[in-house]
Amino acid sequence: MLGLTVISYFVFDPFQVLYSYDSYFSNKEVIKLGKNKDFISTTTFVNNINRKKISYDSFLFGNSRSIFYETADWKKHIGGESKCYHFDANGEGLFAISKKIELIKKEGLRLKHVLLFLDYKTLTQTKPATGNHLFVMTPTLLNNENFFNFHITFLRTYLKPKFLMGYLDYKLFKKLRPYMLKGQIFEDNPVEYDVETNEVKFDYFEQLIASNQYYTPERMAVFYQRDSLETEHPAIIGPKQKNILQKIHKIFERDSTDYNIIIHPLYDQKKLSQEDINYLRQLFGENRVFDFSGINDITKDYNNYYEQSHYRPHIARKILDEIYQKQ
C-alpha cells in the first residue's frame, strides 16, 4: 500500500516540484494546493531568462507581504521600459534574498532597480529554511546541496494521513470540503497570475471590500486589540546579518543600483529596533531606508489590511509615492 501511495506522488506531482510547467498558477484555478513560492519564483525566473530570453533589470525581494506592490505602480516611478520581476517567497528570509541576488548576477543580469522589503522575521533568518514544504528553500539557490532534503520534505507532507486523505478525496470527487481548508490542504482564494513578472494579484478580495462583503465577523476576529504604547523588537542585526547585508550592499554598489529598502507597516505595530534601523541607514544610506513599522496612520486602521499579516495594494501605492517623492 505504501508503495502505491509513493507511486501516486510521482504520478500526480501535487506540489509541482518534480516536473517542468509553463506556469505554476492558473487564472482559471480556484481550488488549489498551497505551493512553495520560493521554488516557483526561482524556477520561473530561470525558465523566463533561458527559454523566453527576458532580460530583467528590476527586482522586488521580500516575503509574501511584498506581493501587493504591483509592477505597474512601480514603473510609474522607475520608467515604463523597465523589465520587472517579483522575486518573493513565503516567509522569505535574509539569507534566501541574498542567494536570489547572487543567482541574478550569476545569470549575467544587472540590478538596475531594486525594492528590498524587510521586517523583523525576515532579518532573523540567516540560513536556509527547512522543515515545512511551503518554506523549504529551493535547491537551485544552494547548488543542489539540499536536493534530497527538499524533495523528501514534500513527500513526507504528501504521506501525512490528513493531507493524503484530503488530497485523494478531492482528486476523486472534485468537491471541496470544510476540513480541507481547516487543515490547510487547499486554498480557495482565486488569484490572477502573470508568469512574466511572477506577479500574483488578489483582485477578488478588493471586489469583496468594494461591495462591503469582505470584513465579515470571522475575518474581523483576527484584528486583535493592540497596546496603545509602542513596543520595539529587540535588536536582531548581528554578525551574520551584517555579513549578508554587506554582501548585498557591495552588489548594489557594483551595479550602481537604484534601490530602496522598505520596512513593512505591520498590524502588530511593533517597531523595528532603532539600533537595527540605524545600522541599515549607515550601510545603505539615510535616504534609502524607509521605516513604516510601529504605530502610524497606516497601522492604526484595520481597513488597510486583509488580515493581521498583509496590507493592501493601496497602501503599497501610498508608500511608493511617498518614498519616490522624497527622492
Write out the three cell numbers for 311.
496590507
| pLDDT band, residue 156 (cuts 50/70/90) | very high
Burial letters 15-49, b for 16+ CB under 10 A, else e: bbbeeeeeebbeeeeeeebebbbbbbbbbbbebbb
For range 169-184, the mean pLDDT: 81
Task: Name every residue whose Cβ is closer than 8 Å to that of residue 147 and which is 6 or more positions away in sequence.
Answer: 139
The pLDDT of residue 178: 83
Ramachandran category for residue 238: left, alpha or beta (phi over 0 → left; psi -120 to 50 → alpha): beta
In terms of Cα–Cα distance, which of 93, 118, 127 is closest to 276?
118
Q: What are phi and psi of 30, to 5 degrees?
A: -95, -50
3-state secondary structure of 293: coil
Characterize the bridge pairing of strands 58-62 and 84-88: parallel
For residues 187 and 181, give the distance between their C-alpha atoms in angstroms, rounded to a whole number. Answer: 6
Mean pLDDT, residues 281-295: 97
Query: Where does the chain have alpha helices with state H?
Result: 2-12, 37-50, 71-78, 94-106, 120-124, 147-159, 161-173, 178-182, 203-210, 217-220, 239-254, 274-284, 297-300, 313-326
- Average pLDDT estimate for 229-247: 97
Q: What is the DSSP string of 145-211?
A: TTHHHHHHHHHHHHHSHHHHHHHHHHHHH----HHHHHTTSEE----EEETTTTEEE-HHHHHHHHT
Total residues found in the chain within this entry:
327
Among 210, 184, 227, smallest CA distance to 33 is for 184
Domain-wise residue ranges, the chain: 17-326
Kind of pairing between the strands at 113-118 and 58-62: parallel
In Å, what is the CA distance from 136 to each residue of 24, 129, 148, 241, 293? 17, 5, 12, 20, 27
How confident is the model over 14-61, as pLDDT tens digits? 999 999 998 998 866 656 788 899 999 999 999 999 999 999 999 999
Instruction: Read off the pLDDT of residues 187-233 as tens digits, 9 standing for 90 and up.
Output: 777 888 999 999 999 898 999 999 999 999 999 999 999 988 999 99
Q: What is the pLDDT of residues 87-140, one digit of tens each?
A: 999 999 999 999 999 999 999 999 999 999 999 999 999 999 988 999 999 999
